[in-house]
Structures are given as structure tokens and as C-alpha cells.
Structure 1
Amino acid sequence: MEFIEAAAAFAEHLERVRRLSPATVRAYRSDLRDLTVDVGDASLEQITLDTLRDWLWRATQRGDARSTLARRAAAVRSFFSWAHEQQLIEHDPSLRLVAPKRGRTLPTVASQDAMRTLLDAQRSAASQGDAVALRDHAILELLYGSGIRVSELCGLDVDDVDLDRATARVLGKGSKERVVPFGIPARDAVGAFLTRGRPVLAARATAAPAALLLGTRGARIGPRAVYALVADVLAPLVGEETVGPHALRHTAATHLLDGGADLRAVQEILGHASLGTTQIYTHVSSERLAATYRLAHPRA
């Protein structure tokens, strides 16, 4: 079988069988498409370890980041492992493929004072009764109050939110469902939006009758609109030009740990499959602790 044909079948497997997110499938397609430039119409059996090493070396020469190289190596290892399981190849050429380790970068985290300033301003704007302001306040309170992903936020339906229990039922990566708690400010913001804001937006269209959060035309809000909102209000407070909804997820996790939350509890709230993924937030907290020490201790 030719590599191009097998790559297309693998992408379909990721989408229909493993049910990975569209963004993940796109990333795999992109990485395998990049390899196609090197191997052309070669068959799977013609691709060797040296072929893959040369491919990564050329990516290094054109200046690809270490994180990109690591991701592409992981993509081809996953692909050839699948091909071997499907008996499309006798030997897996990627078993000894080594890529540079990803550089560890600590996520952007806003301080508690910054978040208080941001949310107080949003609450004040929402108090005027504008439907969009009410929605934006609910979005920011939910992202920070629950630590959910932007895709999970946009996918929420009205019935997924239980204001009495202050919980939301979200569909995470791999179509895994979990229930996450959120605080009283988020409960109040969502309640105000449902009562005074959502009916105004819902009257503009009937495209998304079940969706919790609606755009200005009445359809379900999309990640880009949420990204634009967060970038507009959060970037000035953290001193970065580009910042998105994930920064609020990072901030929520870090503040939970700063407040004494158990690491495994934070893992469950965030929906991480591996505890190792959650542990990066302990490094963030350690950095903040060290910074506080350096500023405050006379012998720091």
C-alpha cells in the first residue's frame, strides 16, 4: 500500500474509531502530509528509519521548533504502530525514531488580584443589562471558575448546567464526559445570563435552541469569539500580546493548588488523562512561591 493511501485511512481511523478531536486529527494530517513531501508515492515498506530521520533532520534545518519536531515524531510513531497492527507492514520503522524533547515552558497565569480586577469589571458591565455583556461575564466566570477547555465551554447546552448544584456536564477529549463544579460567582453570572441575556440573543435566530452560550446572531458561540474576548480583557493584565482561553484554565488550576487543593482532585476537574499533565501546575506554583520569597524575604 502506498504511504499516501495509508495516511488517509489512518486519519479516518483517528476520527471514526478513536474519535479524537477535529483539531488533533488535523494536526496528524498535517504532519503526515509533511512527510509525504519527502516520500512521495513510496510504499509503506519502502519507508525506513533512515527515511524518517532524514525527514526530521530537514525539519530541523528549516528551523522547526523542538515542540513541532517532537509532535511530528509522535505522529509518525502512532501512524506506523497502527499500520503494523493492521498488518500493512511487517516491521515498524519508527520504533527507534528519536526526536528532541519538548522544551518545558510554564503556562501563562494571571494573579488573583488581576482576576479580581477583570471579573469585577465584567460584573459591572453586565449590571447594565446588555445581553452580550451578560454573556461575556458568564463566559469568563465559567472558564476561570471551572477550568474547562474552550471547546467544552462552547459545547455546553442549557441542560448541561445545574445551577442548584453549581455544576456543569462537559464533553472532553476523546468524548469523555465529566461533571465539573464552579463557584457562586459563576453560578450567579450564568443565572443572570439565562434570565436576562440569553432570551434576547435567542430571539435573533433559531439555529441553536439548546446551546447555552449564543453569539450575537443567536447561533452557538464559537471558540474564535471566546478567544477574542479573553485576548481583549486578559492580555493587558498579564502583559502579553497573545493570550487565549487556555490561560484561564491554567490560572484556575494554579489557584486551586495555591489554595491547597489535592493534585488528583485538580486532575479530575481538568479532565486530564495523566497526572503528569496536571503536575506542570505544581511547577507554576513553585515559581510563584519563589518569586514571592525573593520579593519579600530580607535575605532572599
Structure 2
Amino acid sequence: MADAVAAYLDHLRTARGAAGSTLASYRRDLRRYRAFLAGHGVHDLTAVTPALLAGLVPALQAGDGDHPALGEASVARTLVAVRGLHRWARAEGLTAGDPAADPAAPLRAPVLARRAPRSLTVADVEAILGAAGAPGTLLARRDRTLLEVLATTGARISETVGLDLADVDLDGRTVRLRGPGGRDRVVPLPAWATATLRSYLAEVRPVLAHQATAVFVNARGGRLSRQSAWTVLARAAERAGVSEHVSPHTLRHSFAAHLVEAGVDVREVQALLGHASTATTQRYASEQGPDQRPDQAAGR
């Protein structure tokens, strides 16, 4: 079964153009699925039955000694991966049927609620930016720049750490973000974030970097990883006293909610976020956001 999963992931990468972060999520979710099957003595896709799959959702929600219980969003994401794997296996002739599509395998239930994404207030975002790193250090200046780019562009974390020097236009005050599926977009930076980025590139990065192209580098000079960037944000939020869970996607959600609240057309927000569908962006329209846009905060 491991070979089938590997082949499916390769299919997603080569035929579907899936981003690295998407592939990592699918790999993690399908590892959890394989553990579920192994616990029932099943090690081949041909042996999976609808009756067995009927127990998947409860198992994911309950967790076990080796795996934490999953929330509804994580369960939904895992089910997408499982359904995709079985659909692909049938299309490739690896299995005679698709047990995940059988009504006896309720992988489309329960219906998971689609909640509007949670957003931070402008004051919270400002507090997080101000709490980035130990004051005065090179890494603190890098961290502040990283978080300003995240907060003012609505970029995904993978897009931000993936920025190369050639993607930055300081004079034009824009950055090119490389989205999933090869969908690139150019987004503007406010003047204050551009000034921070200019200072970082001129004074901080040359001291840290041995990596020739990456904008954001780690203490050893290589490209900053997604995990490290996530840690930068988590520590800044903790120091700022922002009690609710904060992730890079929280900043992305906040960016979008602030724009919608300020009256920016949803289609323009869609273009800035790189959403393939307007329906995804429309969820932000129902949020009650703050009365300032991020680039208007704190008198900037």
C-alpha cells in the first residue's frame, strides 16, 4: 500500500501540479489512514471495504494512543485525501471498485460546518509585529520583516518563505508570490512594509545569508523553513499576549477580513489572495472585522 500512496502523491505532483505544502498534508493524512487500516489488519487497497471505511470518521475523531483526536477541519481534509486516493486507484486499475464512493462508507458525513475564518483585530496584528524577536538583533529584524510581509500581503506561509530576491520590486512596492499550481500573482506592499523590507535586504540579509536567492534566511544562512516561520509567529503572538491560537493562516484571514470590512470588492480580494474561486473569498464578507485596514493601523 505504501507504493500506491507514493504513486498517488507523485500523480498529484506531476499531473495536478500540487504545491509542496499540499503534498505534505496529503502525505501526513494518508499516513494516518494507513495506520487506521493496519489496525484492522488491512495492508492493501484491494482489501478495503465500505464497511471498514464506515469506522474511519469515528476513529479520526476519537484518536488513539499513537494519534491525537482530530477536529472537524482535519477530519474533512483527511477524507479528501482518502477519497482522492481510492478514486485514483480505481482509475489506474489498481482496484476493481471505489469503496470510498459506496453509500455504505459515509465518508461525506457528517456534514462539516464551513465557518467564516477567524480574524485578529488591527491592534492584535500590530502587537504581534511589535513583539517579533529580541529587540536590536539581526534575527529580530528578520522576524519583523517576515511578519510584516505576511500581514500586509495575505501571503501563504509557503509563498512567503519561497520568496526570492528576483520576486521583490522595492521601487514598485510589490512582491511576486508563487501560488499553488503555478498560479503566480503580484501584490502590493504598503510604504512602511516596503521600508522595513528594504532595510532588511540592505543591512540584515547580507550578514546572514549564504543562500543566493532566498529573501528570508535562517541563522545558518539557508532558506527559512515553513516550520521556522510558523515558530517566529507563534512566539511573537505569545510575547504580545494574543491569547487565541494564531497561525500564518490567521494573518491571511485577517488581511482579507480587514479589506472586505473596508469595502474592497471581493473579486479584488480574491486576486490578492490567489483564490481560484470567488466562493472561497466570499466567506470573509460575513465577518465583523475592525474598522481599519492593516496599512492604516497605528497611524501608518
**TM-score (norm. length: structure 1):** 0.80
Equivalence for 2:254: 251
| Contact 1:47–1:93 (CA under 8 A) maintained in structure 2 | yes
Letter in 2 for 1:7: V
Conserved? CA contact 1:134–1:197, under 8 Å: yes
Q: Is the 8 A contact 2:42 2:48 kept in 1?
A: no
In structure 2, stretches of 5+ residues that fail to align are 64-68, 292-300
- Among residues 69, 82, 101, which one is paired with 2:88 in the alignment? 82
Query: Distance between the aligned counterparts of 1:57 and 1:136, measured in 2?
Result: 40
State yes or no: 1:131 paired with 2:129. no
Alpha-carbon separation, structure 1, partners of 2:213 and 2:261: 36
Give how far 1:281 is off: 1.7
- How many aligned positions are there? 278
Residue 36 (structure 1) aligned with residue 17 (structure 2): no
**Which residue is equivalent to 1:8?**
6
Report deviation, 1:261: 1.0
Give SS of 1:94's match.
helix
Q: What is the one-letter code of the residue matched to 2:71?
A: A
Deviation at residue 224 of structure 1 after TM alignment: 2.5
For each residue in 1:229-287, what CA deviation from the matched residue of structure 2 results, as whole angstroms up to 9, or x when unmatched? 2122224556326422222111111111111111111111111222222223223237x
CA contact (8 A) 2:176 2:186 kept: yes
Sequence identity (%): 32
Aligned AA (2:252): R
Matches of residues 46-85 of structure 1 in structure 2 within 5 Å? 46-60=47-61, 62=63, 64-85=70-91
Higher alpha-carbon Rg: 1
2:161 is the counterpart of 1:151: no
CA contact 1:39–1:47 (8 Å) conserved in 2: no
d(CA) in 2 for partners of 1:236 and 1:42? Answer: 48
Gap change, CA 1:272 and 1:39, over 3 Å in 2: farther
Matches within 5 A, 1:1-300: 3-20=1-18, 21=20, 22-37=23-38, 38=40, 40-42=42-44, 44=46, 46-60=47-61, 62=63, 64-95=70-101, 96=103, 97=106, 98-119=108-129, 125=135, 130-202=137-209, 206=210, 208-235=211-238, 237=240, 239-240=242-243, 242-285=245-288
| Structure-2 separation of matches of 1:56 and 1:113 | 39
Paired amino acid for 1:251: S
Q: Over the residues paired in the alignment, what is the CA RMSD in angstroms?
A: 2.8
Give the partner amino acid of 1:260. Answer: G
Question: What whole-Å deviation, never above 9, does each CA across 1:122-151 have from its counterpart, x for those lacking one?
Answer: 6995xx5x4323322211211111010111
- CA shift for structure 1 position 158: 0.8
Report the residue type matching 1:32 in the other structure. Answer: Y
- Richer in helix (by share): 1
Where in structure 1 are there 5+ consecutive unaligned residues? 290-300
The 1:35–1:10 alpha-carbon spacing in structure 2 relative to 1, beyond 3 Å, is: farther
Structure 2 CA distance for partners of 1:257 and 1:236, relative to 1, 3 Å: farther
Distance 1:80 1:131 in 2: 49
Tell me the secondary structure at the aligned position of residue 176 of structure 2: strand
